[in-house]
Amino acid sequence: MVESRRLREVQTPIIPVIGDLVRATPGTISLGQGVVSYGPPPEAFEAAARFGRDPEDHKYTAVEGVRALVETLEAKLRAENGITEGRVVVTAGGNMAFLNAVLAVADPGDEIVLLTPYYFNHEMAVGIAGCRAVLVETDENYQLRPEAIARALTPRTRAVVTISPNNPTGAVYPEAALREVNALCGERGVYHLHDEAYEYFTYGGARHFSPGSIPGGAGHTISLYSLSKAYGFASWRIGYMVIPDHLLEAVRKIQDTNLICPPAVSQHAALGALRAGPAYCRAKLGAIAEVREVALRELEGVASFCRVPRTEGAFYFLLQVRSDRKPLEVAERLVREHRVAVIPGTAFGLERGCTLRMAYGALEKATAAEGIGRLVRGLRALAS
């Protein structure tokens, strides 16, 4: 007996691979997985504590989410994102929202345009759906190239995927560029899937923009969100998507088959978190920005052989290391010899050169200085 050929061709998730190395090397500081250092606001725990007293709490809820949570998210989208059209569906995290979208809009053999470097779970979802990922490179600073996206579209294209603020690069796409891509999708009859999981994580003059707010774009725009980062909600698994009305029935079929409904206790906790609002995340953002500045200062020490595009969002830098070594070899040696973990760029579709993603959102300032110091010393040792 053998596993599905389709699944054999899907890449192995890199986070568990690096995680196993970290656990086998006590004292390692992880600059690998993209999480924040803080947990949910008190309002989330208060809401979760009230859950379960009503017998109805222990039954299945609506496939698209608890009505009170859906209405709260609709109000949030109007006030913060300018999105007034489309249907909200609550999902078990942002990855489920993406897989729902791909399954709803594409058939096996269809094409989904991903920008490289891509988020590896997006590429994996495309493969699991039996579709083909068409890769389009971003520019040297990881920004959109709309003309290259236009050239990549074929009669089999079903969607173009953008992420801003971006994982794995930290790039924030300008409003004008996102409008151009959205208009292109509308003209060519394909969907624009836009992931906004890091919407609150911007620095300096960077500004977040939601393509779902563009007038006339609701019929071809799918917007994806998550509470995992902003509200320290990763283990609670709550995300949501805004989809055109005509996709609701398809998404309901997918979600009902997959998990019926997101966990009700997590949805109630999410309602509590949203009462705290974006101010909760923004109060934490100053500390993350300080860690970001520590990272930039420390990385100046390897500038002679390591280029670090200064991106303005999320909590990642994607390092371009001048080395003949394979990225996975470098990542493994950094853990074993220097007790610091990063993610190899091959996981994000970067096959040329040696690229490494470092994440700094989960670190306190003192730990960040030590961890990034280890990374710098390790890169110097491996470059010598």
CB 192 within 8 A of CB 220: yes
The two tokens of residue 277 are: 């609002």
- Identify residue 215 by its one-letter amino acid code: P
**The amino acid at 44:** A
Residue 160 has phi, psi (to 5 degrees) of: -115, 130
Q: Residue 115 pairs with which residues in a beta bridge?
A: 136
Q: Which CATH class is domain 5-39+279-383?
A: alpha beta
CA–CA distances in Å: residue 334 to residues 260, 299, 308, 328, 341: 42, 15, 18, 10, 6
Yes or no: say if 119 and 163 are a contact pair by the CB < 8 Å rule.
yes
Kindly state the tokens that stand for 333.
């040696």
Q: Which two tokens stand for residue 315?
A: 């909590």
CA 39 to chain centre: 18
Domain positions in the chain are 5-39+279-383, 42-277
Tell me the C-alpha distance between 355 and 347, whole Å: 10
Supply the pLDDT for residue 384. Answer: 66
Asked if residue 90 lies in contact with residue 224, where contact means CB atoms within 8 angstroms, the answer is: no
Specify the 3-state DSSP secondary structure of 265.
helix
For residues 44 and 274, what is the distance between their CA atoms, to the nearest angstrom?
Answer: 8
Do domains 5-39+279-383 and 42-277 share one topology? The answer is no
Q: What CATH number belongs to 42-277?
A: 3.40.640.10
Distance between CA atoms of residues 222 and 89, nearest Å: 11
**Residue 79 DSSP label:** I
Tens place of pLDDT for every residue, the chain, 384 residues?
778 888 888 888 888 888 899 999 999 999 988 899 999 999 999 999 999 999 999 999 999 999 999 999 999 999 999 999 999 999 999 999 999 999 999 999 999 999 999 999 999 999 999 999 999 999 999 999 999 999 999 999 999 999 999 999 999 999 999 999 999 999 999 999 999 999 999 999 999 999 999 999 999 999 999 999 999 999 999 999 999 999 999 999 999 999 999 999 999 999 999 999 999 999 999 999 999 999 999 999 999 999 999 899 999 999 999 998 999 999 999 999 999 999 999 999 998 889 999 999 998 888 888 999 999 999 999 876
pLDDT at residue number 203? 96
- Can you tell me whether residue 307 is helix, strand or coil? strand
Nearest residue to 296 (alpha-carbon basis) of 286, 310, 285: 310
CA nearest neighbour of 245 among 42, 377, 85: 85
Task: Give residue 12's pLDDT.
Answer: 86
Q: Do strands 340-341 and 221-226 pair parallel, antiparallel, or not at all (unpaired)?
A: unpaired
User: Both tokens of residue 349?
Assistant: 């579709």
